Structure 1
Amino acid sequence: MRDTYLDSCKATLIFLVVLGHFLERMIGWKDPIDHALLGSIYFVHMPAFIFISGMLYKDKNWFKNILFFIAIYLPFQILFAAFDAVWTGKFQINWNLFARPYWVLWYLLGMIVWTLLTHFLIKTKFAVIISLVLALCIGLSPWNNYQYSIGRIFTFFPFFVIGVVYGKVIMQKVQQFKFAELLGIFIFMGIASFVYISQLNPFWLYGSLSYQQLKVSAWNGMWMRMVYLFISSFGIFAIFALVKLFNSYFIQLGKNTLPVYLLHGFVVMSIARYWRLDFNIFVEILICIILSAATCWVLQQSCFDTLLRKMSLWLMKPVEKLGLK
């Protein structure tokens, strides 16, 4: 039997992912109000989504899951590049195509790496500590953390591991906590206030750059990254707490988050290229909310999930025939 509460959490988070991308592409970070809204979303949506991905991790299927994400990642990396080439008119062979996952595809590469590393880390007693050390130390690397999304992959790795190790217990505690919803509201207000006042550099939330690229010292970089991870952890609690207010309303969306995640990028890019918003900021935000809801409603249909499963067969079927699963 499916966990409707978990599906509701996933539905909420995928909506925030889509909304964040519409806001970023159609409004941007320059407006202080949208900056605060975007920053609040980015503090929470991917850390919480990755935390749930860790909760759903099954070690017995680790190799099969890696193959599935590879089977989806490779064709979509080509599809996004081709889609971008159509819009820009720049048709050229890029031999470094896979050196940098296209936009949203870093999550797929992340799932490949997280699944692989977690398979070995959970055999130790220090999985969470090791993942946290990696998250802090990746920023010390002298190379470009944007390449192969190594910055994002390791920065968000602790959320995946914590989801694997403690996810179910944490979810249960949140559901049982009597004043969780009220506390969640205060946490979100605190995060939004912090983002609005500080107008922080969004690259800290992306987790994609090294400390040197962010122009801070190693010590300050590690300290700031720790603070941001800490704030995101509170944000995860807040989002799970607030989902209790409307549990079981968006089950279908929660069941089919992967096709929404992968396909909404094409929708966002298409609309953002043709439509430049020039209204009051609150009207622009409302438009983005409506577009996000409509995009999620369309892409949540089962046919898109079926399409993805069929796309993965080009790799999954041959591997199964070889008995490597």
Structure 2
Amino acid sequence: MSTRDYRIDRAKGILIFLVVLGHLLARTSPWESPILGAPMYFIYMFHMPAFVFLAGITAKSNKLAERVLTYFVLLATVLPLMWGWMWLFGLNPDYDFLRPFWYTWFLLSMAWWMITVPFIERFPRTMLVASLVVGLFGGLLPILDTELSAARTMAFWPFFVIGKLYGKQIIDWAGSLAIWQKLCLSAAALAAVGYFFLDQVDYNWLYGSLNFAHFDVSVPEGVGLRLIVDIGAVLLTLALLSWLSNTKDTIATIGKNSLAVYILHGFVVRGLQPVLDDSRNVLHDAVVLLICVALAVAWTGLLAWSPFERALRWWSSTVTGLLLKPFPFLWREESDRRSERGRGERGRRGNAVNPGDTYHPGDAYSEGDGPDRQGLGLQPMPGVGYQHSPGYEQHPGQQQSFASPAPVAGEPYPLPGSHEVPQNNATYETTQEVPAGAAQRAVRYRRLPVYLSGDEDR
């Protein structure tokens, strides 16, 4: 049974607050003010690279068509609504589907990054190198800019790949640092922000949305500045992760519902834009900053209300399901494919699985991919339940092809109740609760020597 890592949720909670705050401040022309410009440099140096890094950690290749299409559905939903919303407030949006408007670029970029996940899993080192090259040198391509969110997709892709391949290890490493190490890391991160702020580096570099031609720089200058920006983002991201504890709290809840906050906050910010545009004309910059912080706290908390998140996910999943319904080969469960591959591999190896041990509707285990329970050769027995097929053996070196490992002596086996495989007994017997009206099902397992070759994703 997997345990949720609340460090990821808490990181998302903090970052989504910074997203809301940054977009509120951006409506006040903050880059011209030292008081407002400093927090803007801090936020924009790392908040989206860090978000992309966390997205890489949770990215999976199963149900890929559904996952990718979901982002397109959200984009196609949000864009027209945002255009209409801005029209109501007398604002002039950019009516162009090829140039995702404002913050909606992230939805399109997520779709592109998700398409690369199977390749990242299959060729991890190659894709890591490719992402670094693309991230640093992508600005060379003059034809790629805000169109189709191409520039940002390339600039932030390394963070997605690193998150996918090494994200959990990085979070563990950052959290294991001593206090003095965390303080040094945080100081280095703030020093990077100070350098950009005091040197007045063009803040457009932080957006990642423009190519080198826009800045009128040479190739070495462009690559060098892109590298410096990325190093600053890495330092700030690591500093944030180092201080997070694996605790479920309000921040974690906000992070869990960050999709709703991200999509809905844009309507709030644009609704407040007429007021924010003129705020610095009547208020001191420090007061404007405090008001924006208060608004960000309030609206982040309100938009993180669970019904908003559930409604968005219901809408996106419903529309996605309808669009994919004519193409069942795109949304078939990955577990079914793994089960078929596993049965095919066992057939080719000639394992002594009972010929009658095939899948029938209604013959299902409480967990797993099919009647041959997790590669153990379990056979349905009328009136008894499931037991090992006679003569079934699992040979040393045989790769486990299912989601859960086979029983190992002394370790919990992933069934309800977490039963343990006895250390010294050949078999054990247990019962499981089944729906009312049906008899309890007795299940007998035989301990077998099993060699696991490792994660199936590697």
Query: How does the TM-score come out when normalised to structure 2?
Result: 0.67
- 1:286 paired with 2:285, answer no
Secondary structure, aligned partner of 2:206: helix
Letter in 2 for 1:24: A
Distance 1:121 1:251, change over 3 A: closer
Distance 1:89 1:286 in 2: 25
What letter corresponds to residue 169 of structure 1 in structure 2?
Answer: Q
Q: How far, CA to CA, are the matches of 2:15 and 2:126 in structure 1?
A: 29
Distance 2:285 2:246 in 1: 28
1:243 is displaced (CA, Å) by 3.1
Q: Distance in 1 between matches of 2:185 and 2:13?
A: 18
How far apart are 1:267 and its partner, in Å?
A: 0.5
**Equivalent position of 1:299 in the other structure:** 303
In the other structure, the counterpart of 1:86 is 88
Contact 1:212 1:218 in 2 (8 A): no
- 1:227 is matched with 228
Q: Which is further off, 212-221 or 237-246?
A: 237-246
The structure carrying a bigger strand percent of its residues is 2
Matches for 1:34-113 after TM superposition, within 5 Å: 34-88=36-90, 94=95, 97-113=96-112
Which runs of 4 or more aligned residues in structure 1 lie more than 6 Å from their structure 2 counterparts after TM superposition? 89-92
Q: Give a deviation string over 1:282-305, Cα, whole Å, max 9, x none.
A: 221111110000110110001111
Distance in 2, Cα, partners of 1:234 & 1:123: 29
Amino acid at match of 1:317: L
| Equivalent residue number for residue 272 of structure 1 | 273
Q: Hey, what does 2:315 align to over in structure 1?
A: 311
- 1:135 is the counterpart of 2:128: no
Point out where structure 1 has 5 or more consecutive residues left out of the alignment.
none
Give me the TM-score of the superposition, normalised by structure 1.
Answer: 0.93
Aligned to 2:388: none
1:172 aligns with 2:177: no
Within 5 Å, which residues of 2 pair with 1:187-226? 187-226=188-227
Whole-Å Cα distance in 2 between the matches of residues 242 and 273 of structure 1?
Answer: 37
Unpaired segments ≥5 residues, structure 2:
332-458
SS at 2:214 equivalent: coil
In 2: Cα distance, 1:90 partner to 1:208 partner? 20
RMSD: 2.0
Q: Structure 1 counterpart of 2:300, which letter? A: C
Deviation track 1:69-122 (CA, whole Å, cap 9, x = no partner) reads 111111111111222222227699x5xx21100111110101100011232233
- DSSP-derived class of the 1:142 partner: coil
Rounded to whole Å, the distance in 2 between the matches of 1:257 and 1:228 is 25
Aligned residue in 2 for 1:121: 120
Instruction: Tell me the distance in 1 between the aligned counterparts of 2:189 and 2:35.
Output: 15
State the 1:127 CA deviation. 1.6
Q: In structure 2, how many angstroms separate the alpha carbons of the residues matched to 1:246 and 1:190?
A: 29
Aligned equivalents of 1:197, 1:155: Cα separation in 2: 24
Name the larger-Rg structure: 2
Larger mean CA deviation between 238-247 and 298-307 belongs to: 238-247
Shift of 1:61: 3.1
Q: Deviations over 1:230-284 (max 9, x none)?
A: 1111111011123349874412101100010011011011112134323222221
Contact 2:7 2:247 (C-alpha < 8 Å) held by counterparts: no
Structure 1 pair 246–16 and aligned structure 2 pair: CA distance change class (3 A): farther
Judge which range, 299-308 or 115-124, deviates more: 115-124
> SS at 1:88's partner residue?
coil
